[in-house]
Amino acid sequence: MPGRDARVTYICEDVEDASWLARSFAQGFQLAGWRRLALRSAFILGILTVALMALLIPLTVVTTRSPGDIANAVFSAVVFGYAFWSTLGTLLMLHRWRIALAPWWMQSVDDDRLVEWRCPPRHADKSIKAVRYAARCPLCGGKVVACSGGMRHSWRIVGRCEEAPAAHVFAFDHVLREGNRLL
């Protein structure tokens, strides 16, 4: 039975049970024409909204002396910032990382969906596609799915065995589609 040097080979699975909102990403959201403009507009609108809410705090501090109004302004800015990041933040990370956890509105019950930035020469055209990567665990035979690295592997996507998610953890490389066991 393999131990420290265990390796997995990931298989890219299409997302089949997508909600109506995530269906266009499950089929591959082409980054051309009006779709590119719509996505860019959503990002710009979200960033402007967060920036305006951030400006609201100093303006509220200058114009009012009420601690309650200041607290409301800070709370509103935090809520808008969190709403923006949880909705569009992972899509903003795609250009740099090429793969990220899918936002909450694309996830299923299992939280194992990823969004992948696909572009030539590896793929035919530029698109963002919702995918799921899975493998067979070499330690126990269970299913390994690519998901968040959590606190221990922050800002990383790792493969976790569904049978032993804390013990059977593997690196994840979406280009080579393989990974070694992480200890």
Summarised one tens digit per residue, pLDDT across range 91-119 is 888 888 999 998 888 887 777 899 999 99
CA-wise closest residue to 89 among 101, 77, 98, 107: 101
- Does residue 133 lie in a domain region? yes
- Does residue 2 lie in a domain region? no
Residue 32 has pLDDT above 70, yes or no: yes
- Does residue 1 lie in a domain region? no
pLDDT of residue 87: 83
22 and 150 in contact (C-beta within 8 Å)?
Answer: no
- Does residue 42 lie in a domain region? yes
CA distance 50 to 54: 6
Alpha helices (runs of H) in the chain, residue ranges in sequence order = 23-26, 33-63, 67-84, 90-97
Task: Specify the range with the lowest mean pLDDT, choosing from 53-57, 146-150, 171-175.
Answer: 53-57
- Does residue 65 lie in a domain region? yes
Domain that holds residue 152: 7-180
Q: Which residue has the higher pLDDT, 70 or 30?
A: 30
pLDDT of residue 117: 93
Lookup: tokens for 83: 């709403």
Burial of 74 (0-12, 13-18, 19+ CB in 10 A): middle
- Does residue 28 lie in a domain region? yes
pLDDT of residue 2: 58
Residue 10 has pLDDT above 60, yes or no: yes
- Does residue 104 lie in a domain region? yes
Q: How confident is the model at residue 83 (pLDDT cuts 50, 70, 90)?
A: confident
Q: How confident is the model at residue 128 (pLDDT cuts 50, 70, 90)?
A: very high
CA distance 67 to 108: 41
CA distance 101 to 5: 27
pLDDT of residue 98: 94
- Does residue 39 lie in a domain region? yes
Number of domains in the chain: 1
pLDDT of residue 115: 93
